[in-house]
Structure 1
Amino acid sequence: MSNPPTAPAPQPSPAGSGHRRPRTLLAMHADLAARLIDRPTLARFTALADLDPTLVVDDFTNPRAAAALRETEVIVSGWGCPPLDESVLAQAPALRAVIHAAGSVKHHVTDACWRRGIQVTSAAWANALPVAEYTVAFVLLANKELLRMRDDYRARRGVPHDWLAAYPRAGNHRRTVGVVGASRIGRRVLELLRPHDLDLLLHDPYVDASEAERLGARAVGLDELCAASDVVTVHAPELPSTRHLVDRRRLALLHDDATLVNTSRGSLVDQEALVDELLTGRLNAVLDVTEPEVLPADSPLYDLPNVVLTPHVAGSLGGELHRMAAAAADELARYTAGLPFAHPVHHEDAARSA
């Protein structure tokens, strides 16, 4: 447990406002709260709720945490929140809501929570924004062939060269981008790509042709998407059915010099097959996620010139974390006012989400 920034003294709710201050507990990695919650948002939390800002729980068996849990009505969770299983819920008879100041709730919201009828909300929409921005940036750069051109320019060092002739296909005009998965992130990617002169394809088994058209894309099968796209970007959830969704056969469908972008989960791509393709130089890849999440030191992905490899940082980072905390504070304000959550997570949706 550790301390977030010191908050100003909490102010009571105005008399007759209809708001109340539920006992609330921060549950996340011990050192996360200080980076996640800035001073203005912490002040909102302490004004809205009976919350001890010096208590950040990453272990519910800790005596101080266990004592607080007995009185807790709302948990504001983040990355590193321990699972809320039957044994934890037995110690939290007053718990009514979990407000997750991050994306997926799969790691800590268990079936026991759904059976209890605990309300759940997530800032997944807020975390989707930087992932989509990262994706779109690399989609546009990939079509422009900027990384290859950068290396080429460095190698020539002052030698004149006909760049127009050397890169006849470079650019984004009428290039085809295939989006795999109409998740929050996938939809935001489509939204950000729509102003560009691109042909957008979408594969999602839950999205029909008319909905895809409303999103600015054409619905196609995954094989067709792989064969037709200059860039394929993966935004499907990690499920048993999506493991190696982009497998060796589908990678072979990608045309030469196509780029695969994966900001979802490493398991969605057959990484061994992808490495084989990348070693030939036939394909390019932008990988923010891998399997395992930290690659062994001898992985060729670290050094291949046709690979951009980043350490799962497409999501909220630095100041972007504050957006998720602010989103959680907004949901806490709705809860204290007796309003439904603006971004609820339902059991049936959680089963097929990231």
Structure 2
Amino acid sequence: MSLTHLLPGSLGFGTAPMGNMFRAIPEDEAQATLQAAWDQGIRYYDTAPFYGAGLAEIRLGQMLSQQPRDSFVLSTKVGRVIHDEVEDPATRDLGEKGGLFEHGRPNKMTGDYSADATKRSIEDSLKRLNTDRLDIVWVHDIAQDFHGDRWLAQFETARTGAFRVLDDLRDQGVIKAWGLGVNRVEPVELTLALDEPRPDGFLLAGRYTLLDHRQALQRLLPAAQEQGVDMVVGGPYSSGVLAGGTHFEYQETPAHILETVRRIRELAERHGVSVKAAALQFVLAHPATAAAIPGATRPSRIAEDLGALREEIPAGFWHDLRETGLLDQAAPLPAGA
């Protein structure tokens, strides 16, 4: 199924922060944030077992279980199994993302893209989410940033395991769509080149943003459009640095990125534009984009995101971004630009 037809609107909610990413979020604050998203009309929610070792799924399930199941679209991910045994979250091997969820639950996590692990992961997610079904399932983090030189071997396990399970579940009508949820373009390009199984879309985090979009524009997005495969954009604010935060790629922002953000902000101020609005509207302008799913940890951020979606941005801003080399010439611009 086309994700554009499946998803209820262009703005969803990404729940990685609900897994205590970067900081321990009080339970009442987490629930107030999720409730604010619902109250203000957000109807697509994305989560994953990885987010706080199941914490984000549990928190999201508490809120969504109070709503009619047919009134929202829900996606989660496979590729990691959460166990009852505990471990020190700070010592987990997360590739380039070390310590990302050190404030989450201490449950042991193991990476496994096999068929059996995929089925178990889905069953466990349904329990944590307190729901009877999932709409979309993404194969999570099957890329270099988490697996290094082993990523192609992991990909092959997923191709013969998770991919086929999800293909069958979609064909049976158990789920509506499946794809990859990754922070790199290479696994998606590889998947699109396969004869089978066939994904419906992909969740690409951080690789199609104002700060980093050139590589995705070269091969990935043209191939996706040609095959009718849609993109959900994760991390439209580049881990927060485009929304006034201090993180880029889930780490403290390096100096050269801060300089690029400064140049973007300077142009935005000149045109009376908020950087957050520019970041969000840019990713949604690509015809392959079905939705963007920024995360939040405070209720007020939901209204900010919705405001950024509606903000009027003059065409001159986009043209100045291109003229200064901050925006690739091939990047589609919002309507009217």
User: TM > 0.5 between the two?
Assistant: no
TM score, norm. by length of structure 1: 0.27
TM score, norm. by length of structure 2: 0.28
Q: Which one has the largest radius of gyration?
A: 1
